[in-house]
Amino acid sequence: MALKLYTQATLFIDSTIIAECESIQITADSKAQIVETITGGLSGITKGASQLKFAIKNAVPDAAFEMDTGKYFKNGGIDAGKFCELAVAAGSKTIASEVFISNWALSYQVNGKAELSFDAIGTWSDWE
């Protein structure tokens, strides 16, 4: 068995690489609803509004935040600053989605690192 080279994922927001990204998790959610009936049990599903969910963790350099999450998040998302394009390249494929940032958090601990994490929800897309 030969050794293989495995890919790394790269995050882009509005076509700009996010170099301080530590981790990316993409979750596809069909939002389909299960249909169960008294006599039929599990009978099927109804189509949902499919979406992609992203969970991102970024290291925070001493100089400044690499990106301003507030630009995309205002008043709890009710009057979001704007949507942005979030794209992840992995291997020879890329998945891109128009997203809004639904929440963000800054964490730090003694003898630890500063980390800016955020979640984004966006339009359905396939790997291309």
The radius of gyration of the chain's CA atoms, rounded to the nearest angstrom, is: 18
The answer to the question of residue 1 being in a domain is no
Query: Is there a contact between 97 and 50 (Cβ–Cβ < 8 Å)?
Result: no
**Phi, psi angles (nearest 5°) of residue 72:** -105, 0
Q: pLDDT digit string (tens) for 19-39?
A: 999 999 999 999 999 999 999
The enclosing domain of 78 has a CATH number of: 2.40.30
4 inside domain: no
Enclosing domain of residue 111: 9-123
Backbone angles phi, psi at 68, to 5 degrees: -100, 100
pLDDT of residue 81: 60
| Total domains, the chain | 1
Average pLDDT score, the chain: 89
Distance CA(31)–CA(124), nearest Å, equals: 11
Token pair, residue 111, equals 């003898």
Query: What pLDDT is recorded for position 15?
Result: 92
Question: Residue 128 pLDDT more than 70?
Answer: yes
